Structure 1
Amino acid sequence: MSANQPTSFKRSFGLLDATMIVAGSMIGSGIFIVSADIVRNVSSAGWLTLAWLLAGILTLTAALSYGELSAMFPKAGGQYVYLKEAFNPLVGFLYGWSFFTVIQTGTIAAVGVAFAKFAAYIFPALGDKHILVDLGFMQITAAQLTSILLVIFLTYINTLGVKEGKIIQTSFTLTKIAALFGLIIFGLLLAARKDVWQRNWATGFRLENLGPSGAAPYVGMAALGAVAGSMVGTLFSSDSWHNVTFIAGEIKRPERNIGLSLFLGTLLVTIIYVSANLMFLSVMPLHEIAFAESDRVGVAAAVHIFGGVGTLIIAALIMVSTFGCNNGLILAGARVYYTMANDGLFFKQLAVLNKNAVPAKALWLQCIWASLLCLSGKYGQLLDYVIFVVLIFYILTIIGIFRLRRNRPELPRPYKAFGYPILPLFYIVAATVICLALLAYKPMYTWPGLGLVLLGIPVYYFVWGKQRKVVPA
């Protein structure tokens, strides 16, 4: 390390920047797509709205609880640090292992491919039907190459320093928030139909499976599995809100601004998501939402609002949305690997900052793995597998608040979890119910993800366990 190379992060993010990290990392392409699958699972306007509202309430509850942890440990690493401090290094490592292998990198890959897929509406040569290389065992499409180039470009920008990544994040997030509100308002003013709205809400809170030929009632407890399956899409669309905790070492007044940005960002996105779905219900019949081409509900709504040009409008909006989302994911994720490396729980070469005070090596390693996931074509499946695991780690982290209050009462707590202990307990119970329902009725979402996490145990003990610097809490 050179004498003039920085050894600590610069506190460069204000409250607005931090809030834009929260909102920008949450809003990708999900809001434009997943409502189709939800309607097929529940077949009613009431349950569609409730699925998004419940995801928003759970996210807000978790965000308010994380505020206490972020104020106690205002340093890079976020959830990894909280789990390590509340439990032990193994639990922290298992989160970091899952985070690197699929949670963050898989999301980066999926968002990158979504960018390319919708870019193809404007530039058809970038589509996934344009095969560039056929190796027999795999094909490389223009969409995959575009997604990789996007990840490489944003990674490079973020190696130049915090300022560059911050400018992209704040400007693109403000743009997509304004555009989304514009889409919602134009939809309600220009394309809303009273008869469509009334027919949709005539379904009330009916819970049935909707197929092309009509709805069929669920038998027994299968309805619980349908609700849990519906929550997979809404929870993923509302995920990544905690990315701001990973950059805690770079936020001004972290004891105040992290908790406040978590609340403001998650509240803003919840309002957007619920409002967008109410707009969908006022513009399109439920059957059209459920069976929109390739589940592209946003495209179908935009065509109703703006006519033929609506396809290009929504494509441009999703390009802006996914570009900003991936920037936030790339910027924040590398800080986790940097912190793990400093604890002796990841490649030691990642435990350095470059001359611009950012973890460049961690950024490039993340870039390489995310790019491979883009090529694998399996990232979508991996994201489905890991939703169960994501919820488990959220539950453990919030349980950590109770453990830390009991075991380490001397730690400073500039902010305490809002509604403690009721709201944190509500999240733990609600998320546990969803996990158990997924375990019982959607095993394809649970066992592979759980197996991936358990694979981290031998990795921990045989690769990094002996060289760790940290000791159990």
Structure 2
Amino acid sequence: MAEQLKRSLGLLDATSIVAGSMIGSGIFIVTSAMARDVGSAGYIVLLWVLTGFLTMTAALSYGELAGMMPTAGGQFVYIQRAYGKLTAFLYGWTVFTVIQTGVIAAVAVAFAKYTAVFFPQLDETLLDTGLFILNGKTFLAMFTIVLLTFVNNRGVENGKWIQLIFTSAKLVALFGLIACGLYFGTQTDVLSQNFENMWEAKKSVVNPDGTLSITDLSGFALLGAAGATIINSLFSSDAWNNVTFIAAEIKDPKKNIPRSLFLGTTIVTVIYVLANVAYLALLPLSGVPDAQTVTGAGIQFAAEDRVGAAAASVVLGNSGVFLMAALIMISTFGCNSGLILAGGRLFYAMAKERLFFNKAAELNENQVPAKALWFQCLWACVLCLSGKYGDLLTYATFASLLFYILTIAGIFVLRRIEPHTERPYKAFGYPVIPALYMACTLLICIILLVQDTLNTGLGLLIVALGIPVYYVAKLNKE
């Protein structure tokens, strides 16, 4: 058995993990929901820009913590250093129960869903118990999780090359989609029409009888709608912090982790904003839910919210749907490889602190925390099987935002209690920029708490359930 993790990942590898873990299926889907919630081209672009700003701000702030603590576990280690073991365990508990494993399950199901475009037989129901439905997509999703876990168990080099190849492929494909979209879109007046009344916000709701209710938004109603719907773009931009989990395997981590965080989040932010401009150049923003054409449905009511596929079909016809399905398959497969690679290192770090299954602290002959990866794999497959991963993600996103705020607040805590600790990189714009991030994100959390009390409350409940688990585990080990 190996005794420690091996530093074998360079800046390019780390950057590909940041970008590759961020880009899954969200960018191809969530703009439809945002269009229904705010109904304004100006506010949609503004929310994606704000998402990019918040993500980059958080990433630049995390750079200081990564430089101070270049060890496996990342955010878990930072929280423990600033607040102690209980708070760190609550973070790790939430990551294991819903955040990391839930995202892995959801991304795997997205991969299977788009594979079904080519193989419709995957949609055939094999078993329906009322609690969950088994079909080919369920088994394919679980198979991809097991496959990627197996590959990552063979050594970090395997995971590195999968990440590099798939991240490069989807970046090239996305830039190609953006370029085609902007080129063909400028041949029409769709973009100018979408931006003609760019700040007139409207919420569109489909009534049970199929009719459409449209409500003008302004003032606090607009703030509430924007604050609630930004969760879509924030979720699509999440997982950038995964690179901190593998700090012990990155060469010169004190420099390369901050750099990779900045480069990766910048690349993805640019792509996301441009992709939304391309959508607005190809498709009308407004539409009707029962339209027979993609232009009639618009961005708001793209079939199954697949706005990326609808935009591609404008340029390429029906073949665009298959092209987009292939692109999302590439995107989600590569995304999950990075998530699986990184998540196992977090649980390895927890086990080293005796806050997770002890076996998860062992490395195999390939210097990989194999058992941690398989624990993660098992629970992610259960979430695929349960069919509840969508609900779990909704609950967890709110809790995840709270932990981001807590972690960045840890910069202020550690500056006070450890003023002389070496900081190879200092948080950009400290204290203003980190404080601005915390204030903006806290406002979003408050809006979510008001607008979606049930799901945010369940998110807090998941975190709180970790408290008795922590003390029970602690008693058993004494």
Q: TM-score range by the shorter chain?
A: over 0.9
> 1:348 maps to what in 2?
358
- What residue identity is the alignment partner of 2:222? A
1:126 CA displacement: 2.2
Once residues 192 and 295 of structure 1 are traced to their aligned partners in structure 2, the CA distance between those partners, rounded to angstroms, is 24
CA distance in 2, matches of 1:414, 1:141: 51
Q: Which runs of 5+ in 1 are unaligned?
A: 469-473
Residue 131 (1) aligns with residue 125 (2): yes
CA RMSD of the aligned region, Å? 1.3
Distance in structure 2 (CA, Å) of the matches to 1:214 and 1:462: 51
SS at match of 1:132: strand
Q: Distance in 2 between matches of 1:153 and 1:192?
A: 43
Q: How does 1:368-383 map to 2 (within 5 A)?
A: 368-383=378-393
TM-score w.r.t. structure 1 length?
0.96
Q: Which runs of 5+ in 2 are unaligned?
A: 207-211, 287-297
Aligned residues: 462
* Seq. identity, %: 53
TM-superposed CA distance for 1:187, in Å, is 1.1
Counterpart in the other structure of 1:161: 155
Contact 1:81 1:92 (C-alpha < 8 Å) held by counterparts:
yes
Q: After TM superposition, where is structure 1 displaced by more than 6 Å over at least 4 residues in a row?
A: none
- 8 Å CA contact 2:131–2:386 kept in 1: the answer is no
In the alignment, the residues of structure 2 paired with residue 192 and residue 114 of structure 1 have an alpha-carbon distance, to the nearest angstrom, of 31
Q: 2: CA distance between counterparts of 1:467 and 1:340?
A: 15
Name the amino acid aligned to 1:258.
I
- Measured after TM superposition, the shift of residue 204 of structure 1 is 1.4
- Equivalent residue for 1:187, pick from 163, 181, 193: 181
Letter in 1 for 2:450: A
Shift of 1:141: 1.1
1:385 to 379, 389, 395: 395
How far, CA to CA, are the matches of 1:466 and 1:72 in structure 2?
33
Q: Shift of the alpha carbon at 1:210?
A: 2.1
Describe the SS at the equivalent of 1:425. Answer: helix
Give the alignment partner of residue 194 of structure 2, picking from 200, 205, 215: 200
CA deviation profile, 1:329-379 (whole Å, cap 9, x unmatched): 000001111111110111111111000000100100100100010011110
Partner of 2:289: none
Partner of 1:59: 55
CA contact (8 A) 1:222 1:441 kept: no
Question: In structure 2, what is the Cα distance between the partners aligned to 1:249 and 1:66?
Answer: 16
Q: In the TM superposition, what is the alpha-carbon distance from 1:132 to its structure 2 partner?
A: 2.1
Distance 2:35 2:187 in 1: 19
CA displacement 1:153-196 (0-9 Å, x = unmatched): 00000000001010000110011000000000011113444421
Distance 1:65 1:323, change over 3 A: same
Distance 1:284 1:373 in 2: 35
Note the 1:42-441 alignment, pairs <5 A. 42-127=38-123, 130-135=124-129, 137-211=131-205, 213=212, 215-218=214-217, 221-287=220-286, 288-441=298-451
- Supply the AA of the counterpart residue of 1:222: A
Contact in 2 for aligned 1:193/1:283 (Cα 8 Å): no
Change beyond 3 A, Cα 1:137–1:434: closer
2:5 to 4, 9, 24: 9
1:244-298: CA deviations, max 9, x gaps? 0000000000000000000000000000000000000010000200100110000
Alpha-carbon distance between aligned partners in 1 of 2:427 and 2:218, rounded to the nearest angstrom: 40
- Judged with a 3 Å threshold, the aligned counterparts in structure 2 of structure 1 residues 465 and 38 are, in CA distance, closer, same or farther, namely farther
Give 2:365's aligned amino acid. Answer: K
Q: Shift of the alpha carbon at 1:142?
A: 0.9
TM superposition shift of 1:138: 3.2
User: In 2, distance between residues paired with 1:203 and 1:143?
Assistant: 42
CA distance in 2: counterparts of 1:177 and 1:138, whole angstroms = 35
2:19 corresponds to 1:23: yes
For the residue of structure 2 that corresponds to 1:122, the secondary structure is: coil
Residue 423 of structure 2 aligns to a residue in which SS? Answer: coil
Provide the secondary structure at the position in 1 that maps to 2:204.
strand
1:313-341, CA deviations, whole angstroms, 9 ceiling, x for partnerless residues?
00000000000000000000011111111
**Which amino acid letter does the alignment assign opposite residue 24 of structure 1?**
G
- The offset of 1:220, in angstroms, is 6.3
Q: Please report how far the alpha carbon of residue 224 of structure 1 lies from its aligned counterpart in structure 2 after TM superposition.
A: 2.4
Amino acid in the other structure paired with 1:43: G
Q: Which amino acid aligns with 1:42?
A: V
Structure 2 distance, partners of 1:14, 1:200, is 43
Instruction: Give the conservation status (yes or no) of the 8 Å contact 2:133–2:387.
Output: no
106-115 or 199-208: bigger deviation: 199-208
Aligned to 2:290: none
Specify the code of the residue in structure 2 equivalent to 1:49.
V
Q: Secondary structure at the match of 2:116?
A: helix
Instruction: Give the 3-state SS of the residue equivalent to 2:365 in structure 1.
Output: coil
The answer (yes or no) to whether the contact 1:354–1:360 under 8 Å persists in 2 is yes
Q: Report the residue type matching 1:426 in the other structure.
A: L
SS of the residue corresponding to residue 133 of structure 1 reads strand
Tell me if structure 2 keeps the 8 A contact 1:241–1:266.
yes
One-letter amino acid of the structure 1 residue matched with residue 33 of structure 2: D
Q: Assess if the C-alpha contact under 8 Å between 1:387 and 1:445 holds in 2.
A: no
* Residues 1:70 and 1:137: Cα distance change in structure 2 (over 3 Å): closer
Q: SS in structure 2 opposite 1:289?
A: coil
Measure how far apart 1:139 and its partner are.
2.3
1:218 Cα deviation from its structure 2 partner: 3.8
Name the aligned partner's letter for residue 453 of structure 2.
P
Residue 419 of structure 1 aligns to a residue whose secondary structure is coil
Inter-partner Cα distance in structure 2 for 1:265 and 1:413 = 22
Alpha-carbon deviation of 1:49?
0.4
Determine whether 1:455 maps to 2:465. yes
